[in-house]
Amino acid sequence: MDASPAEPGGRRTRRRGGRPARRPPSPTPFVQEVILAHLHDAVFATDPENRVTFWGPSAERLFGYSAAEAVGRPFGELLPYQMATPSDEASFLATLREGRTWRGSGTVRLRDGSEIWVESAVQPIVEGGQLIGSVSVSRDITAAVEAQRTLVEQERFVNAIIDVAEALVTVLDASGRIIRFNRACERLSGYTYAEVVGRPLWDLLVPESEAAAARAALADLLAGNFPKRFENHWQTRSGELRRLAWSITCLVGADGAVTHVIGTGLDVTDMRRTSDALRGIEAVGRLLTTAGPTDQVLDAVLRQLSGQMGYAFLTLVLREGDHWRLGAQLGYPTLQPYFDPAVGVIGRVIRTGEPAFVTDVSSDPDYHADSPDARSEICVPLRAEGETLGVLDIESTESAPLSENDLRLALAVADRLASALLLGRDQLALRDRARVFAALTEFGRTVNAIHDTGQLWPALVEAVRAVVSCDVVTLTTLDRTTGQYVVRAVVGGSPSMVGSIVQPGEGAAGRAMTSRTLIVIENLPRERYAAWARDRIPHDSLAVAAVPLIREGAVLGAIVVGRADPRAFGPLELEAIALLGAHGALAVANAHLLEEVSELAIHDGLTGLYNRRHFDAALDHMLARWRRQPAGRSLAAIMFDLDHFGAFNRQHGHQAGDEVLRVFAGVLRERVRSSDLVARYGGEEFVVVLEDCGLEDAVAVAESVRSALEGRAVAAPGGALLHATVSAGCAALDRAAPTKEALLRSADVALFMAKRAGRNQVVAV
């Protein structure tokens, strides 16, 4: 296909002088191969009938099919694909025939039967106005789609909570138009959400006499004076006026400007609370529009109730899984952090879900004294959607006994607080999820930007701590040379743990790698730590989560996260740790891959010796070093050539020949020093350069290599034992002509003489 740009009407753009613009140079096949091998997105091509014509390595990794399985098959048959909308299917071919790139998304079924979401860009290949094929680039967007679905479900859940709340909940935009109006508002006003949405609040519900005050209150909120309390009237559809007490706050945008006004209110027309009770309810009501109830906020609620109502003793107990923990308390010297639901009036309310009013605690057999001054007690459950979320307990002294009015107030407070807890829990969950996913994104960006393993290992464990609150992190990865799993980095423990060997099944890391799944241990005592960690971690017990690093079916290692406090890892944290494993595995795999590429750039792929390109560069450095050394130091070279290697290949096959090359490379490694330069110079030619060695030393080394190969049997693919020999030529660096070319030329001449003399011998010149 002509690469020169085209003008409208099909004319080609030409340079001045009338000659066509030159094509830019194309990447070499090697560059193309490397690029395609390392693309993260899947790349493949199809013909006009949508049969696969090219299937890159990235497509193999994403879809699971090899190129041999994919090429020639219709794409739709190979990977059943469901576009996001039916109209996309109709527009797909039309877009390609028009020569335009098609972009879309949908689901595709992989080779293993699983389905993922992919986002694709398809570039048509058009010649002579005809579509001759296309090139597609696809990426896995499953995580993003699932995250979006989760957010939608969570939003539906929060909406459902708002709709079932007994409190009035309204949300206005910055101009005062209604954008949320829950069912409690519908019941009170007589208007449906569809009737009020988008209309200014004062044009529909606020009496004309109070409209100016409502606008002034909105202006005050927009000026940043929130949260605030406000009372006004609503005029219902029937014309009735209802007095409402509101707690109001605002949401602000990135620029600091108010974007939404959120109000939660109560109809106080029929039953006016006492002024103190009303203040208490309003104080609790503000929780509905806070960022979510924390222990500090709950403590502030109890302080307001105590200050306004004069209660001497207050306790707020919250449900935490199967346990009931102390959320906040006032007036008691100390309370246990967890409550036994089988003990006391609080336990009775937890078990029954019914409020309790004890006018004389001495007469109640369930009463458990936490203060000798208490004389009466009110205990009410915090219930929402049929679930008891906690318990509010009020005790008072003989001088200020509790009354039925206090019970009504406690029930109202409990109702508001239960709604706040439910809303706040979801708000916190959404915020925590957003924070975790932002931290995961930063984690992936950080670790995938580091390609040197020496820098990656410590960076990876530090990045884990930025995502999950923890005290100890260890990273174990596979040593590709030894096949053993090795501790690479540690935070929160002794650095001496680095380098320890992790046996399969040993400790949390070994168990995670063996089971290939996330391992969670809520309480791991020191005696069950791995032996290499037992005396090197300053905590006697840990809550532990260990995730294996798995990439393309291979276990690359494990990340272990430990927490010293008694909190177990929550579901969101465990989800984050699992994702850390996936991100970490990708980073480790990428680092290994880059190491392999670097190795291949300087090593011969068959023998593992240095290749010719690296040999030339290294020899230049050796000669430069030799020139800087005092006179008298020597340098020698040996050229080897496997005897009659072409005939050997023809007689025994190339597999046997390859084995001879590998065996001879092993002999060279055995017989020369690690400081010597050893390379595969050509097909069956090898070269060794010896520093601080003269000609006699070179001859001795060459003879040792020749003799070792002659006496070594090489196993052919069929099992037969074969033998090979080698000829060698030795030369020392001539100080009169101390060049690389002269040294190698002399060694090559000596090699030629050895072959002319009958082969399987060493000659020096």
Question: pLDDT tens, 485-533?
Answer: 999 999 999 999 999 999 989 999 999 999 999 999 988 999 999 988 9
More confident site: 83 or 346: 346
Please state which of the four CATH numbers 3.40.50.720, 3.30.450.40, 3.50.50.60, 3.30.2390.10 is assigned to the domain occupying 276-446: 3.30.450.40
Q: May I ask the CATH architecture of the domain 162-272?
A: 2-Layer Sandwich (3.30)
More confident site: 263 or 300: 263
**Residue 155 has what pLDDT?**
62
In DSSP terms, 171 is beta-bridged to: 180, 262
Burial 620-651 (b: 16+ CB within 10 A, else e): eebbeebeeeeeeebbbbbbbbbbbbeebbee
Listed range (261-275, 337-351, 402-416) with the worst mean pLDDT: 261-275
Q: What is the pLDDT of residues 659-701, one digit of tens each?
A: 999 999 999 999 998 889 999 998 899 999 998 899 999 999 9
Q: Name the token pair of 572.
A: 């969101």
Q: May I ask the CATH architecture of the domain 460-599?
A: 2-Layer Sandwich (3.30)
**Residue 7 has what pLDDT?**
40
Any idea where the domains of the chain sit in the sequence?
A: 8-140, 162-272, 276-446, 460-599, 612-764
Burial class for 613, CB neighbours closer than 10 Å (0-12, 13-18, 19+): exposed
Secondary element (H or E) of residue 524? strand 519-525
Q: What is the pLDDT of residues 391-418, one digit of tens each?
A: 999 999 888 888 887 888 888 888 878 8
Q: Is the pLDDT of residue 33 over 60?
A: no
In DSSP terms, 83 is beta-bridged to: 106
Indicate the CATH number for domain 612-764: 3.30.70.270
**Residue 156 has what pLDDT?**
67
How far is residue 26's CA from residue 77's CA, in Å, rounded to a whole number? 33
Give residue 279's pLDDT band: very low, low, confident or very high (50, 70, 90): low
**Residue 577 has what pLDDT?**
86
Q: What's the distance, CA 65 to chain centroid?
A: 25
How far is residue 413's CA from residue 276's CA, in Å, rounded to a whole number? 13
Q: Is the pLDDT of residue 181 over 60?
A: yes
How far is residue 570's CA from residue 579's CA, in Å, rounded to a whole number? 14
In DSSP terms, 749 is beta-bridged to: none
User: 3-class secondary structure for 342-379?
Assistant: CCHHHHHHHHHCCCEEECCHHHCCCCCCCCCCCCEEEE
Within this chain, domains 8-140 and 460-599 share the same CATH topology: yes
**Residue 288 has what pLDDT?**
42
Q: What is the pLDDT of residues 186-218, one digit of tens each?
A: 999 999 999 999 999 988 899 999 999 999 999
Contact residues for 691 (Cβ-Cβ < 8 A; gap 6+): 622, 626, 633, 635, 675, 676
Q: Is the pTM of this model over 0.85?
A: no
User: 3-class secondary structure for 194-243?
Assistant: HHHCCCEHHHHCCCHHHHHHHHHHHHHHHCCCCCEEEEEEEECCCCCEEE
DSSP letters, 688-738, are: EEEET--HHHHHHHHHHHHHHHHT--EE-TTS-EE---EEEEEEE--TTS-
Burial class for 219, CB neighbours closer than 10 Å (0-12, 13-18, 19+): exposed
Phi and psi torsions of 764, nearest 5°: -120, 145
> What's 508's DSSP letter?
H
- pLDDT above 70: percentage of residues in the chain: 86
Q: Is the pLDDT of residue 17 over 50?
A: no
Across the chain, what does the average pLDDT equal?
84
CATH class given for the domain over 8-140: alpha beta
Mean pLDDT of the 111-115 span: 91
**Residue 10 has what pLDDT?**
40
Q: Left if phi > 0, otherwise alpha if psi is -120 to 50, otherwise beta: which for 384?
A: beta
**Residue 466 has what pLDDT?**
82
**Residue 32 has what pLDDT?**
53
Give residue 732's pLDDT band: very low, low, confident or very high (50, 70, 90): very high
Bond preceding residue 29 cis, omega within 30 of 0: no
**Residue 575 has what pLDDT?**
86
In DSSP terms, 247 is beta-bridged to: 229, 264
User: 3-class secondary structure for 371-428?
Assistant: CCCCCEEEEEEEEECCEEEEEEEEEECCCCCCCHHHHHHHHHHHHHHHHHHHHHHHHH
Give residue 598's pLDDT band: very low, low, confident or very high (50, 70, 90): low
More confident site: 326 or 37: 326
Contact residues for 280 (Cβ-Cβ < 8 A; gap 6+): 304, 305, 308, 309, 409, 413
Pairing of strands 762-764, 726-732: parallel
Q: Is the pLDDT of residue 754 over 70?
A: yes
